[in-house]
Amino acid sequence: MDDSKVIAAHDWAAFDRVQEMSNHWDRPGWTPTTRAYYWMLIFPADSALAEHARYCQDKIRNLNFDSIDGDGLHLTLGRIGTIDDVSLKQLDTLLATSAGMLTGRFRLQAVPMTASRGAVRYSVAPWTPVLDLHSKLSAAATQCQLPLRKPTAVLRPHIGIAYCNRPTDARIVREAIRPLRDMDSVSVLVDHLHLVEMRREDRTYRWRVIDQVNLT
C-alpha cells in the first residue's frame, strides 16, 4: 500500500499484461456538452512535477499520444454527478460535510513511469493517505445522498501525462516508457482538495474550480 517500489512493480506488471491500448476518448456518456462535478487533486503548472512530466512527454513524443498540459495534471478522486443531476444547494451541503471530515496535508511520490489501457501515467505512493481521503469523501457523499460512482476498494491512484488516442500495440508503449522508469520520483505536497466542474474540449479535459478544501 505504501512502498513506492512495490506499487511501481505492481503497476508495471499489470500493464505488462495489456496487449493493446485503447482510445481513451472513446468513452460512453461523454459528449461535447457534458459537464460533471469531480473531486480532484490539482498540481500547479509551475511545479517540479509539471517540469518532470514535460520531460517525460518529450521522450515519448513518437507515440503521438495526447499530452496533458502542465496546468492539467491531476489525480481524480471521484465523480459526484453531472450538473443536471446535482444542484448547487447539494454541492454546498457536500462541501460543508466533507470539509468537516477532512484533516491532514500529506506528501505523495510520483513514480515514473507506467501505463494503463488508456494512458501513460505516473504510479503514486503512498496509497494510504489517498485512500483515506477517498474514504472520507465517500462517507460524506453518502451522507449527502450523492454516492461516488466508484468505491474506495477499486481506486488505483495515478497521475496521467498522455492519453492514448487510438488502438495501439502496448509493446511499443512499453519500449518507449521503460527508460523513464529509472528516473527519480517527484515529491508533491497535497494540501488542497478541489471540487471542479469538468468538461472535454476536443481531446483534453478542462475544468472550472467550484471550491477547494484546505487540508491542514
Give per-residue pLDDT as tens, 51-68. 999 999 999 999 999 999
Residue 216: predicted pLDDT: 79
Residue 103: predicted pLDDT: 81
Strand (E) positions, the chain? 20-21, 36-42, 66-67, 74-82, 106-115, 119-125, 158-163, 168-169, 186-190, 192-200, 205-214
**Residue-by-residue DSSP string for 148-175:** -SS-GGG---EEEEEE--S-EEHHHHHH
Rounded mean pLDDT, 84-96: 95
Query: Alpha-carbon distance 60 to 1, whole Å?
Result: 29
Domain boundaries, the chain: 4-214
Residue 30: predicted pLDDT: 86
**What confidence tens digit (pLDDT) does each residue in 150-183 have?**
899 999 999 999 999 999 999 999 999 999 999 9
Sheet of strand 106-115: strand arrangement: 66-67, 158-163, 119-125, 106-115, 186-190
Is the distance from CB of 76 to CB of 119 less than 8 angstroms? Answer: no
* Residue 143 predicted with pLDDT over 90: yes
Backbone angles phi, psi at 148, to 5 degrees: -65, 150
**In the CATH scheme, what architecture does the domain 4-214 have?**
Alpha-Beta Complex (3.90)
